[in-house]
Amino acid sequence: MPAGSFTVVKQRIRLALQLIPKKGIYGDMRRVLNDILRMQSRDAKADLDRVIKALRGLPEWDWANNARTHLEYAVTYFNETYFNE
């Protein structure tokens, strides 16, 4: 695994967190993403997939689409880095 490879994933998660509202029903999404950043997630990829699926279920809001794009990139990078060695 290349040094700093998880850094790219973390950066994308942080960018998504900046877009997701802090109030309301979005707290669960933010909590899951923060758990991944703190390395407290047992299955980070599955958690990212769940958040992406939840974002897809939202109306076509700019912040939701942009957050989903950042997280999809993180999953793609995660897959290419960790599973193609």
Residue 48 buriedness (CB in 10 A; 0-12 / 13-18 / 19+): buried
Contacting residues for 31 by C-beta, under 8 A, at least 6 apart: none
- Backbone phi and psi for residue 17, each to the nearest 5 degrees, phi listed first: -60, -35
For position 15, what pLDDT does the model report? 93
pLDDT tens sequence across 14-27: 999 999 999 888 99
User: How confident is the model at residue 83, as a pLDDT?
Assistant: 59
CA distances from 84 to 3, 12, 39, 44 (A): 15, 20, 22, 17
- Which parts of the chain sit beneath pLDDT 50? 1, 3, 85
pTM of the model: 0.81
Per-residue model confidence (pLDDT) at position 18: 94
Q: What is the pLDDT of residue 84?
A: 58
